[in-house]
Structure 1
Amino acid sequence: MRIPIRLTAAGVPILLVLSACMGTDSLGGEEEGGSGGDRSRVVVGSTGTPESALLAEIYAQAIEATGERVRTDHGIGSREDYFREVERGRLTLVPEYNGAVLAHLDPESEPADTERTDERVNEELPVGMEILGSTPAESVTAVTVTRATAERDDLASIADLSGVAGDLVFGGQPEFESGPRGLAGLEERYDLAFAEYRPMGAREVPEALAADDIQAAPIRTADAAIAEHDLVPLEDPEDHFGAGNMVPLVHGDSVDGPAREALDAASAELDSTEDLRELNEQVGSGGEAPDAVAADWLESAGLD
């Protein structure tokens, strides 16, 4: 059982989901797999973005419904950090994206469909780690611009950027700048050369686009910011970014049969990108707590 505790930071109510026994520790604490003060066997992490927090709560509550004690940690750091923690068993599960995981494990891999991407990920993951069933819904990385930029430069796909990229500033997380699936690979695949790359945090990107501080950025297609800021995801005719289905990345030995069944059932019900975007909007611009949105969704899906 987990108890929601409301705290206030800078006058804004924030819902923190803490264990009924102890508070949630961040990576690097003394607890491992729920040892120490918190006896939860299952620890579900998220990166703290609205979508990651929502998916973590959906998966955590689905497992909790099987009778397991579950603890959530909504500040687990970078992919490099939490991969290490899942491999060690300090984290049981983290919501991930199959295509992004494959690119992390094998930067030279070619984009593939959902089934083949899932297979390749499980072939490449270290022993003891695996991904479970993927969602039919996708939240694919897309090069995104404002509607004003799209209309001004007549942009519908990434290929349309070829004549104007030199006048545009591309912004995104620091790690996106390099690598085959990042900006370097994007520019090579589409023969583009942007004026500048401006690194920033993921949460800053939509605001920077809306303010015209940057003119293009990678944003996932189910991100609530797309509707909130009237942004336009450009088509990817070369399939540069590949699959973007959500998957539970798990420490295999820590997830038993009933929990696996619950996770697969929850993933299978996430079958529409539009529905996922609506859930993200409730958490993002709507300001609702991820655990409350997850609980309502699980109840409506008959999975509570």
Structure 2
Amino acid sequence: MPSNYRPRRRAVLTGLAAAAAAPALAACSSGITSLKGKRTDGSGSADSGAGLVVGTANFTENQILGYLYAEALRGSGVKATVKPSLGSREVVVPAIEGGDIDLLPEYQGNLLLHFEKKAEETEAGELQNALAAELPASLEVLPYAAAEDKDVFVVTRETARKHGLKSYADLKKTDGDLVFGGPAEDKTRVVGLVGFRERYDVTFKEFKALDASGPLVKGALKKGDVDIANLFSTDADISRNDWVVLEDPRHMVPAQHIVPVVRSAVADAPVRKALARLGAVLTTAELSKLNRLVDVERKDPDDVAADWAAEHHLTRE
């Protein structure tokens, strides 16, 4: 992106500790056009009264998170609708920047790398501060959830034994011999082929553009069409298939706590409070259970989110 593409924010929000104070923070506006064609002049409070549109990326977990956001918002009296499966980060971030959606569930480390490819922060608090500085002025990053879901790169137990693989560094022993499978974006992402080359000096025989922790890449790994696959750490299929998650000694993959990204023009107190309440009770273990209900038990993500939100008292009685 050109250096003059976006003004930078200097406000800093640091994780769960900021949750209690979040509702009191003033919203920033840059004359964003709302979904109803109105504009904010920056002189008054932000307003979610017209309702929020929650967008999601095109994989199971992000869809679940989008529906959870909507349930939590409705529980606080905020109207919300969901536009699921819009695409990859390369699609959904421009969508929220352009005002097509108002709210987006994201992942700290990968989101920062989207805006700053040379970012070196890996710890959750550092990432939160860096995101607050890097996001366009029209957007805000709210306190992150307890839940975290990191990109992991896995091999079958057989492949791990055959090549003596325990970490990404061990892949150097197979340099140029293994086939890599993941979403198309992995070809140019730091958490992907770029990172393997720059952090571990590892290249692969072939790259197969499939999906992110989805049926295509997992099917290819089972069949042996790929040797190493990009999955998510909360994916229930990892343990079910006895796949080996390789270690990351050089911290190629930063912390990936779930974090809401919202348009400043609609980030009022009810929105902040609702998402802070959700973030405080949404743990990694709970997120893994929700993924399993959808991916393994084939339940609808909106139903799963609604049931979980009610169980955790996030919805109105």
Q: Which range, TM-score by smaller chain?
A: 0.7 to 0.9
The question of 1:253 aligning with 2:255 is answered no
1:142-291 to structure 2, matched below 5 A, reads 142-202=152-212, 203=214, 204-271=216-283, 273-291=284-302
1:59-70 to structure 2, matched below 5 A, reads 59-70=69-80
The question of 1:80 aligning with 2:101 is answered no
**Out of 32, 35, 40, which is 1:33 matched to?**
35
Note if contact 1:186-1:192 (Cα within 8 Å) is conserved in structure 2: yes
Which secondary structure state, in structure 2, belongs to the residue aligned with residue 96 of structure 1? strand
Q: Return 5+ residue gaps in structure 1 as ranges.
A: 1-30
1:231 to 1:34, Cα distance in 2 relative to 1, 3 A: farther
> Taking CA–CA contacts closer than 8 Å with sequence separation of 6 or more, which of the two structures ends up with the larger relative contact order?
2
CA distance in 1, matches of 2:86, 2:76: 25
Note if contact 2:145-2:279 (Cα within 8 Å) is conserved in structure 1: yes
The question of 1:125 aligning with 2:135 is answered yes
Note if contact 1:157-1:234 (Cα within 8 Å) is conserved in structure 2: yes
Q: When the two structures are superposed, what TM-score results if normalisation uses the length of structure 2?
A: 0.80
RMSD: 2.0
Which secondary structure state, in structure 2, belongs to the residue aligned with residue 230 of structure 1? coil
1:149 to 1:111, Cα distance in 2 relative to 1, 3 A: farther
Which secondary structure state, in structure 2, belongs to the residue aligned with residue 274 of structure 1? helix
Give CA deviations for 1:47-90 in whole Å, capped at 9, x if unaligned.
23110111001111000111122111113223232222212322
**Out of 286, 289, 303, which is 1:292 matched to?**
303
1:216 to 1:300, Cα distance in 2 relative to 1, 3 A: same
CA distance in 1, matches of 2:259, 2:288: 16
Which secondary structure state, in structure 1, belongs to the residue aligned with residue 279 of structure 2? helix
Note if contact 1:178-1:185 (Cα within 8 Å) is conserved in structure 2: no
**CA drift at 1:290:** 1.1
Amino acid at match of 1:233: V
Of the structure 1 ranges 256-265 and 150-159, higher mean CA displacement relative to structure 2 is found in 150-159
**Out of 81, 90, 94, which is 2:100 matched to?**
90
Which secondary structure state, in structure 2, belongs to the residue aligned with residue 209 of structure 1? helix
Of the structure 1 ranges 153-162 and 231-240, higher mean CA displacement relative to structure 2 is found in 153-162
**CA drift at 1:228:** 4.1
1:179 to 1:298, Cα distance in 2 relative to 1, 3 A: closer
Amino acid at match of 1:224: A
Note if contact 1:133-1:247 (Cα within 8 Å) is conserved in structure 2: yes
Note if contact 2:56-2:92 (Cα within 8 Å) is conserved in structure 1: no
The equivalent of 1:48 in structure 2 is 58
**CA drift at 1:34:** 6.2
CA distance in 1, matches of 2:36, 2:233: 34
Note if contact 1:169-1:198 (Cα within 8 Å) is conserved in structure 2: yes
The equivalent of 1:136 in structure 2 is 146
Amino acid at match of 1:303: L
CA distance in 2, matches of 1:288, 1:172: 25
The structure richer in strand per residue is 1
Note if contact 1:146-1:231 (Cα within 8 Å) is conserved in structure 2: yes
CA distance in 1, matches of 2:34, 2:292: 33
1:231 to 1:40, Cα distance in 2 relative to 1, 3 A: farther
**CA drift at 1:99:** 0.4
CA distance in 2, matches of 1:144, 1:227: 11
Q: When the two structures are superposed, what TM-score results if normalisation uses the length of structure 1?
A: 0.83
Note if contact 2:154-2:246 (Cα within 8 Å) is conserved in structure 1: yes
**CA drift at 1:258:** 1.3
